[in-house]
Each structure stands twice: as C-alpha cells, then as structure tokens.
Amino acid sequence: MLLPPIAALLAVGAVIAYYPVEPATQAYDQALVDIGIALGNHIRVTPSEYRFDLPTAVEQVLRTDRFDRIYYRALSPGGLEVAGDPGLPAPPGDAVAHNAVFNGEKVRVVSVQTPCGRSACTVLVAETMVKRSRLAREHVLQSLLPEMLIALATLVIVWFGVKRGLQPLARLSDEIKARSAGDLRPIDAAGTPEETRPLVGAMNGLLEEVAAASRKQQRFLADAAHQLRTPLAGLQAHTELALAEPMPESCRAQLEQVHQATIRTARLANQLLALARAEPGARTASSKVDLKTLAEADADRWVHQSLARDVDLGFELEAAPVEGDAFLLREALSNLVHNALEYSNRGGRVTVRTGRRNGHAFLEVEDDGPGIAPQERARVLERFYRVPGTPGTGSGLGLAIVREIATGHGAAVAIADSPAGGCRVGITFPHG
C-alpha cells in the first residue's frame, strides 16, 4: 500500500528536480550569445559588400568543444549569406533562442544582432545538446538517488516496524490456535499492543459467556444423569425381583425387554454423568494413578461380563504411573473394555494392556471383532456417532468419553487394526 504513494512522490520529486536545470541552460545560452557577439566583431563593411574576417586558427578554437559541435552563420542586414554554415535555421519571430534540428542533430540556436555600419547584421550560433542533456540527466539522477534511498529505507523501516508491532498479535494467534476447543480461560492482555486490548477484552467477554453456558450445560447433564440413576436402579431391582417370580412366558418376555432397556438407560445415564465430569471446568484435582492398579481393580467385573458373552478376556498388565483423575481414567478404561466385549463375536478374544512404551505410559484394549474402517476412525470419536450397520444398542458416547478424558489428561487416542483382524484402541499419555 505504501508503494503507489511513494512512487508518486518520486515522480513529483523528479519534476521538481528538473527545474534547477533551467539556470544552467540559460548560462549555456549566454555563452552562445557571447560567441555571437565575438563573431559579429569580425564582420567588415565595405561600400560593395559585407566581409567576414575570421582567422582560421580562431575558427578552429571556436569550433573545438569537448562534448558538442559548434555551428555559426552570419547574415547581412538584407538576409544575405556572409559566412558560416549555410542552412542553420534562425529563431522564429523575435525569439532569441530556440531548439532546432541541423544536420540530423538536435541543436540549440541563438540569434545575436551586431552592428554593421548603420544597420545590424545577424549572427546565428548553435551547438548540439550533449552537455545540456547530460547536465539534466545527472542533476535528476543526483536528486532522485537520495530520494530513492530514503523511500527504500522507509519501506524497510515500515516493514520492520509493522512486523515487530504485529509480533504480539502473532503470539496471541498461536496461543489461541494451541488451545483445545474446551479451553475457555481468559486471554492475558498484558503482552498485547495497546490498540488491540479492546479486542482482547471483547474476546475475553465472549469466552466468559461461552464458559458460563458450558458450565450450565455440564450442571444440567450431571444433575439429570444423577437424578436418573436412583429411579433407574430401583426399576432395575424391581424387574430383577419380578423375573425371579413364576409368571407366564409372554409376560416374562415383555418384562425381560423392560429389564434390558433399564440396564441400557442406566448405562446411558452413567455415561452422561462421566461425560459431564470429563469436560473442561468440571475436572477435579489430579493425583498419581497406576493404570495397572485401575485395571486390576475392575478385572473381576469385566471377567463376569466376558463370561456372559463367551469371550476370552486376557490381561497383559505392567506398571504405568500417570498423573490424573482416577475416576475418569477408570471410566475411560471401562468404556474401552465394554466396547470390545460388546462388539466381539462369541468365542472371540479381548486383551487389556497397560505399561510404558518409549517413555510414555499407555493403556490399550485389543479385540478380534469386526474392527473400524480407517475412514470412520475420526468420526467414531464424536458424540452420538455410530458406524452405520453396527449391531447392538450402544449410544455412541463410549469413545467420545474416552477422547474427552484423554484430552483432559494431555493424552492421545489412537485407533488401529489388530493383528488378530479386529481393532486396537489405545491411549498414550505424555512423557512423565
């Protein structure tokens, strides 16, 4: 944006720089006038003619110039040729000097009136314009070069100043890009330019409003899930007691469906409660947790589930200490194991692993089920998304909860193919 006005200023400067050349041009014209006066002194008047008495040596000196060629022409009062270069054009009208073309060259011609007896003779003196053009060119260049250097320095200084001035904004941009979608902490305005602080203040206000809305949503999910757990637990207990009583098969089938629906609804409520706790702003203080210990604590419950589905559940557990929320980490591991058991074929195999790899603690669950297609692996981590055609009655929250918990612990979730042909989902924690 600065280039057009700077270029315009340079053009104006070039025009202004040309005007001081005019006095030098007038000095060159005066030198030609002086030559014309000197030549006029060599015109002799006789009763019968006008004679030009100029020694050859003087004429050679007259025509000798380092840069230009000199021409002259002497005319009688009647306009007759007296001496010099025939054809040299006279200035039009009453002009003393003018530019013309002579012998194919641009020349500057001056006209001098010199006394010839009682009348006046005319002496025309001309020279080519090499000196004049060179003077004008050098003057303009000498004037423009500093201006161009100043313009270049201005551009460099402005570029450096703008870049340096925008560095705080670049840092602010990098800070915002590095944040997760759930990180709604206010932006520190201390290191930002004074001009951008109203913008940062407005962004902080918006972040606070979004954080408040997120907290309300978390409280609603937590309250709703918590309020649903008690009646659902009672309903499940009553259906289990009713199924233990003798009844017609038609009633038993209907009651069995109610019982299974209650179990699924209770699990959904628990998942919603876990999701509310996993979101930013709802997490409690972390502590040292060993993933191996968490897996061992819930192993008995998972074994009973695997036996009910005729799945071979195995464990390869090694110490894997991490810093985190034990409740949330247990929920993440439970979701991974539940998904593996839920979607494995009868007679299949599921393996739970914990340990350290390349200095990073990890936990992973591997199965030999149908697996997850590569193009679906990013989407299954979204809330309420299930791969089309997937059997079972899942809600699509299990892997979303795993991702939220992993993100809250600075960990990464990876989905890969299992060597057995199924799927392997792992969580790798930061170096610690």
Is residue 166 a part of any domain in this protein? no
Q: Is residue 187 part of a domain?
A: no
Last residue of one domain, picked from the residues 92, 109, 135: 135
* 309 and 389 inside one domain: yes
- The closest alpha carbon to 343, from 376, 365, 317, belongs to 365
Q: Give residue 319's pLDDT band: very low, low, confident or very high (50, 70, 90).
A: very high
Domain that holds residue 268: 201-282
Please say if the pLDDT value at position 21 is more than 60: no
User: What is the number of other CB atoms lying within 10 angstroms of the CB of residue 24?
Assistant: 14
164 in any annotated domain? no
**pLDDT value, residue 50:** 86
Residues 325 and 366 in one domain: yes
Q: Which amino acid is at 131?
A: K
The answer on 240 and 111 residing in a single domain is: no
Q: Tens of pLDDT along 46-58? A: 887 888 888 888 7
Question: What pLDDT sits at residue 182?
Answer: 66
Convert 90-114 to b/e letters by CB count within 10 Å (16 or more is b).
ebeeeeebbebebeeeebbbbbbeb
**Of 102, 99, 117, 38, residue with least CA distance to 74:** 38
Q: What is the pLDDT of residue 429?
A: 92
Q: Is the dihedral of CA 313, 395, 269, 276 positive or negative?
A: positive
CA 430 to CA 338: how far, in whole Å? 25
| pLDDT at residue 20 greater than cutoff 60 | no
Q: What is the C-alpha separation between 400 and 381, in angstroms, rounded?
A: 5
Question: Percent of the chain, pLDDT > 90?
Answer: 13
pLDDT number for residue 181: 65
As to burial, measured by CB atoms within 10 angstroms (0-12 exposed, 13-18 middle, 19+ buried), residue 425 is: buried
Please, are residues 368 and 419 in contact by the beta-carbon 8 Å criterion?
no
Residue 19 has a pLDDT of: 56
Classify residue 276: in a domain, yes or no: yes
DSSP at 374: G
| Structural domain includes residue 159 | no
Q: What is the pLDDT of residues 378-408, one digit of tens each?
A: 888 887 777 776 766 667 778 888 888 888 8
Percent over 70 (pLDDT), the chain: 90
Final residue of a domain: which of 87, 111, 135?
135
Distance CA(399)–CA(62), nearest Å, equals: 104
Residues 326 and 266 in one domain: no
372 with 385: CB under 8 angstroms? no
Q: Do 356 and 302 lie in a common domain?
A: yes
Give the domain CATH number at 357: 3.30.565.10
What pLDDT band is residue 97 in, cutting at 50, 70 and 90? confident
Distances, alpha carbon 168 to alpha carbons 22, 42, 162, 178, in Å? 53, 83, 11, 15
DSSP-derived 3-state class of residue 70: strand
Domain-embedded: residue 189: no
Cα-based angle 124, 127, 130 (whole degrees, multiple of 5)? 160
pLDDT at 24 over 70: no
Neighbour-count burial of 71, counting CB atoms closer than 10 A to its CB (0-12 exposed, 13-18 middle, 19+ buried): buried
Per-residue pLDDT, 361: 92
Q: What is the pLDDT of residue 228?
A: 74
**Do 245 and 342 belong to one domain?**
no
- Which has the closest alpha carbon to 106: 115, 98, 96? 98
Q: Are residues 317 and 401 in the same domain?
A: yes
User: Considering the domain boundaries, does residue 402 fall inside one?
Assistant: yes
271 with 304, same domain: the answer is no
Report the domain count for the chain: 3
Please give the mean pLDDT across all residues of the chain.
82
pLDDT at 160: 82
**Domain finish residue from 256, 282, 308:** 282
Residue-level pLDDT at 220: 76
Quote the CA–CA distance of 127 and 74 in Å, as a whole number: 15
Helix (H) or strand (E) holding 211: helix 197-244
Residues 171-225: pLDDT tens digits? 778 878 877 666 778 887 776 777 778 888 888 898 888 888 877 877 776 677 6
